[in-house]
């Protein structure tokens, strides 16, 4: 039967319920137990003959003359409701049979009992409609096979797929474990602006819009408040963090989306050496709490977070792979190396910074990890403190797992003069056509002039969660952005 015909039949049943004085979408439910609780306490409830009320979506209806076997699911568990005409009465039993369909949400009242086959069930003494469905939910057996349709109707995918539903639960546990880890160490959770007049904290192309009330152009943030959180360090708050949405107007891939969740935190009187120890422990804590394991399959790599974490030197890796010293090279040399490595790039706005970064992104695909990438050239990181041993590189690390980057931290630059100079260089890059270079934030530099303590800062996105899950970042979100249907 065509969907519109099914929908028409269900609307007619809805009208029948109304004619009987029954509200198909009541405000109140009399539920006394979740189905999980009902099943956990079933033996005791059966012995006491206590009358209970459970509620859920009908996943199937099986009719055997004067008996109905109805499966209910409420998001916690599934159980069977046993309808008998002799118990309900002919009118109530008949109304259910003629107006209620699979996918409807109902509540049933009665005692717990077991069928002859020993299945925990509820013997229905009365029932009530909670929500009449006008469209049938696809069967659990077939589900939704088309990926585009699954993302558009993720509510059905989650309803039908235990795997997807469990992933959403693990996603919540993932972020809450990170949150608890920081709160237990006296960090305070903060909220920083999502709309900014100057973006900062990352190299990325922002989304822009017009703010009508102020008549100014504003940007959606590209980091979880890095420059704002460091202002809070200036303000005397020594440990701060934010878990929030960020937005980057860039390409899409299995590892990249335009809007996603990111954690960033900042700890005063600390540095990136102390930070590496902390992050190793935090990642292991998250993995153990969420998955009960430290070993994961990430693409073609088996990654053991419990193993010693390596340290990889950025410049040495580039030299060994391409014969180029990132600290003494030219845009022409980088361009030639990219061509030889068959890496495509846009010549518009091309510079040493972007070229070296593209070479590195090609190289990192073969590194399993776990480990820290260190020794990054200062021209690639305008917000990190220079190394005391070599001012040409900064105290920054990136976490390498499964051929990709899974977080970045550094000893924060707190020298306002050095920071101003690096912002000016970034602005020169923007003026030359590099729209991913960072914007010059004079107000942030002014805040630094009041004095910011030495600090360690770190950020990680939900890419880490997707890698631990072994799925694309798109699959790891509940509702990824979709192009509207025409």
User: What would the pLDDT profile of 416-444 be if each residue is shown by its tens digit?
Assistant: 999 999 999 888 888 888 877 888 899 99
Given this chain, do its domains 3-131 and 156-309+369-469 carry the same CATH topology? Answer: no
pLDDT score at 149? 87
pLDDT score at 226? 93
Model confidence pLDDT, tens digit, residues 293-345? 999 999 999 999 999 999 999 999 999 999 999 999 888 888 888 888 888 88
Mean pLDDT, the chain, rounded, equals: 94
pLDDT score at 433? 81
Class of the CATH domain delimited by 3-131: mainly beta
Quick one: average pLDDT of 120-140? 94
Q: pTM of this prediction?
A: 0.91
Quick one: average pLDDT of 130-146? 83
Domains of the chain, residue spans: 3-131, 156-309+369-469
Quick one: average pLDDT of 253-273? 94
pLDDT score at 354? 85
Quick one: average pLDDT of 92-97? 96
Quick one: average pLDDT of 445-465? 97
Q: Are 122 and 82 in contact (CB under 8 A)?
A: yes
DSSP state letters, 165-185: HHHHHHHHHHHHHHHHHHHTT
Residues 6+ apart with CB under 8 A from 133: 10, 101, 103, 104, 105
Residues 6+ apart with CB under 8 A from 252: 258, 474
Model confidence pLDDT, tens digit, residues 341-374? 888 887 776 888 889 989 999 999 999 999 999 9
pLDDT score at 141? 55
Quick one: average pLDDT of 124-134? 98
Strand pairing partners for 80? Answer: 71, 121
Here the contacts of 292-295 (C-beta below 8 Å, separation 24 or greater) are none
pLDDT score at 200? 80
Residue 142 has pLDDT above 70, yes or no: no
Residue 144 has pLDDT above 80, yes or no: no
Residue 389 has pLDDT above 90, yes or no: yes
Residues 6+ apart with CB under 8 A from 130: 25, 26, 29, 55, 105, 106, 107
Q: pLDDT over 90 for what percent of the chain?
A: 80
**Rounded Cα gap, residues 234 and 228, in angstroms:** 10
φ, ψ dihedrals at 205, nearest 5°: -85, 125
Model confidence pLDDT, tens digit, residues 7-47? 999 999 999 999 999 999 999 999 999 999 999 999 999 99
- 116 secondary structure, DSSP code: T
Burial per residue of 148-164, b for 16 or more beta-carbon CB atoms within 10 angstroms, e otherwise: eebbbbbebbbbbbeeb
Bond into 34 cis (ω within 30): no
Choose between 7 and 202: higher pLDDT: 7
Residue 392 has pLDDT above 80, yes or no: yes
pLDDT score at 112? 97
Report the SS3 class of residue 368. coil
Helix axes 331-340, 352-363, angle to 10 degrees: 30
Helix axes 90-99, 3-19, angle to 10 degrees: 150
Q: Are 113 and 136 in contact (CB under 8 A)?
A: no
Q: Measuring CA to CA, how many Å separate 181 from each of 100, 138, 223, 238? A: 48, 40, 21, 16
Of the pLDDT bands very low, low, confident and very high (cuts 50, 70, 90), residue 143 is: low
Of the pLDDT bands very low, low, confident and very high (cuts 50, 70, 90), residue 288 is: very high
**Rounded Cα gap, residues 144 and 142, in angstroms:** 7
**Rounded Cα gap, residues 471 and 469, in angstroms:** 6
pLDDT score at 468? 97
Helix axes 314-322, 352-363, angle to 10 degrees: 80
Q: Which CATH number fits domain 156-309+369-469: 1.10.3470.10, 1.10.10.60, 3.10.20.30, 3.30.930.10?
A: 3.30.930.10
Instruction: State the Cα angle at 292 between 288 and 298, rounded to 5°.
Output: 80
**Rounded Cα gap, residues 295 and 401, in angstroms:** 11
pLDDT score at 398? 97
**Rounded Cα gap, residues 80 and 83, in angstroms:** 10
Choose between 181 and 65: higher pLDDT: 181
Report the SS3 class of residue 394. strand
Residue 182 has pLDDT above 80, yes or no: yes
């Amino acid at each position: 039967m065509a969907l519109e015909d099914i929908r028409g039949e269900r609307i007619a049943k809805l009208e029948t319920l109304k004619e009987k004085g029954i509200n198909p979408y009541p405000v109140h439910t009399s539920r006394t137990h979740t189905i999980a609780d009902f099943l956990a306490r079933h033996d005791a409830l059966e012995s006491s003959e206590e009358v209970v009320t459970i509620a859920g979506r009908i996943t199937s209806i099986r009719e055997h003359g004067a008996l109905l076997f109805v499966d209910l699911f409420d998001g916690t568990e599934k159980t069977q409701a046993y309808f008998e005409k002799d118990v309900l009465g002919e009118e109530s039993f008949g109304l259910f049979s003629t107006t209620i369909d699979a996918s409807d949400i109902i509540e049933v009242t009665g005692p717990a009992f077991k069928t002859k086959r020993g299945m925990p069930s509820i013997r229905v003494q009365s029932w009530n409609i909670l929500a009449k469905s006008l469209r049938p939910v696809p069967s659990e057996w077939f589900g939704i096979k088309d990926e585009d349709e699954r993302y558009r109707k993720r509510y059905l995918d989650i309803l039908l797929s235990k795997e997807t539903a469990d992933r959403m639960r693990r996603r919540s546990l993932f972020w809450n474990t990170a949150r608890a880890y920081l709160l237990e160490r006296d960090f305070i959770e903060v909220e920083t602006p999502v709309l900014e007049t100057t973006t900062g904290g990352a190299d990325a192309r922002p989304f822009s819009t017009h703010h009508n009330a102020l008549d100014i152009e504003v940007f959606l943030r590209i980091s979880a408040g890095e420059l704002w959180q460091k202002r809070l360090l200036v303000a005397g708050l020594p440990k701060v963090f934010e878990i929030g949405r960020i937005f980057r107007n860039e390409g899409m891939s299995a590892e990249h989306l335009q809007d996603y969740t990111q954690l960033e935190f900042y700890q005063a009187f600390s540095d990136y050496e102390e930070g590496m120890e902390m992050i190793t422990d935090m990642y292991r804590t998250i993995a153990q709490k969420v998955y009960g394991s430290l070993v994961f399959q990430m693409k073609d790599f088996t990654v053991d977070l419990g193993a010693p974490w390596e340290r990889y030197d950025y410049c040495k890796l580039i030299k060994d792979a391409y014969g180029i010293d990132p600290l003494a090279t030219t845009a022409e040399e980088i361009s030639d190396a990219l061509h030889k490595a068959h890496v495509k790039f846009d010549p518009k706005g091309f510079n040493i910074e972007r070229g070296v970064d593209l070479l590195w992104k090609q190289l990192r695909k073969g590194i399993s990890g776990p480990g820290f990438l260190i020794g990054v050239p200062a021209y690639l990181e305008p917000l990190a403190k220079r190394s005391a041993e070599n001012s040409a590189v900064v105290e920054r690390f990136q976490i390498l797992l499964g051929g990709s980057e899974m977080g970045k931290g550094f000893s924060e630059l707190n020298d306002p003069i050095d920071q101003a100079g690096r912002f000016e260089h970034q602005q020169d890059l923007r003026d030359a056509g590099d729209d991913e270079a960072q914007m010059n934030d004079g107000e942030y530099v002014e805040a630094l002039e009041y004095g910011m303590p030495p600090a360690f800062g770190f950020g990680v996105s939900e890419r880490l969660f997707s890698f631990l899950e072994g799925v694309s970042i798109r699959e790891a979100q509940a509702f990824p952005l979709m192009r509207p249907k025409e």
